Structure 1
């Protein structure tokens, strides 16, 4: 027979375990929500929807209507080409992961895929450079300076791969 003291201890253990589980669940949910908010905020700061890109440039650069028409056409051409390259990159990444998942992945095949990915990245960068230069050609001097600032901000905030920082998490130790 279980004594009254043992019964009370078991009740308290259950209450403590339930409270711990509940607080852990709430904490997990809270941090997940915070991560979602932070990711959404960063995405809004970094990415500019392609259909709104022309409007964004109009507002930021104070474009005239004739400039807007040219920017709109440049944007369409850039989006078409960039989307094609982006789709090819996605296909190659999937192919690479599938090959790595094989029982005996082919090193030569993976090297070939990697080289193709690198070439497509290069093509995408060249396309972006040409897009920038074409837009710059349409702008006056003040607009060119602002356009440069916009592209600089966008290029600083976009990375294909997030690498860990050297020397800890932003503690000011060493180059990052």
Structure 2
């Protein structure tokens, strides 16, 4: 026979277990919804066209349905663009290192830093001009339908390149940490 004291203890134990199970269920549903939102956000970001750094000609051939003669022209345009873009990119990397080294000195030279930033700006302009030249020369080889798709690809590239990803205030990662 169960005494009254044991009955109370068992009742409270059932209540505690029930509350624990309900809170776990609510927590599970909440986190499942958060994961679903995160997955949707990732899928939206993945819908943007990403041009690969390697095998760019193959990418354009597939995306634009290029003819063999167009593929050869695109390959040559890509080689020319890569040569000039790499040269500019390497110069930019050198200037960034020089800027960081100057900033790290006990007393940094403001005039030197200003000169470096101006040179970085000039090189950025050159890189954008090379990109425009590259785009226009590819565009000349395309039919109207291919031009439209090429425009979409470049718009997506530029949007990704110009977007600055800043941490959002108060957002938690998927593990619940800030």
Structure with greater contact order relative to length (CA < 8 Å, sep ≥ 6): 2
Pairing partner for 2:102 from 99, 104, 108: 99
In structure 2, the residue matched to 1:113 is 116
TM-aligned CA distance change 1:111 to 1:164, over 3 Å: farther
How far does the alpha carbon of each residue in 1:135-160 deviate from its partner, in whole angstroms, 9 at most, with x for none? 00000000000000000111111137
The alignment yields a C-alpha RMSD, in angstroms, of 2.5
Q: Does the alignment pair 1:143 with 2:146?
A: yes
Pairing partner for 1:49 from 49, 53, 57: 53
How far does the alpha carbon of each residue in 1:56-81 deviate from its partner, in whole angstroms, 9 at most, with x for none? 00000000010000000000000000
TM-aligned CA distance change 1:120 to 1:160, over 3 Å: farther
Greater Rg over alpha carbons, structure: 2
The answer on whether the counterparts of 2:49 and 2:153 sit within 8 Å (CA) in structure 1 is no
TM-score (norm 1): 0.66
- Give the gaps of 5 or more residues in structure 1: 1-37, 170-176
The answer on whether the counterparts of 1:46 and 1:158 sit within 8 Å (CA) in structure 2 is no
Counting only pairs closer than 5 Å after superposition, residues 66-77 of structure 1 correspond to structure 2 as 66-77=69-80
Pairing partner for 1:131 from 125, 134, 149: 134
How far does the alpha carbon of each residue in 1:67-102 deviate from its partner, in whole angstroms, 9 at most, with x for none? 000000000000000000000000000000000001
CA distance in 2, matches of 1:45, 1:136: 18
The answer on whether the counterparts of 2:51 and 2:59 sit within 8 Å (CA) in structure 1 is no
Pairing partner for 1:78 from 54, 72, 81: 81
The answer on whether the counterparts of 2:81 and 2:134 sit within 8 Å (CA) in structure 1 is yes
What stretches of structure 1 move > 6 A for 4+ residues in a row?
none
- Give the gaps of 5 or more residues in structure 2: 1-41, 172-178
Q: Secondary structure at the match of 1:48?
A: coil
Q: Secondary structure at the match of 2:106?
A: coil
CA distance in 2, matches of 1:88, 1:160: 22
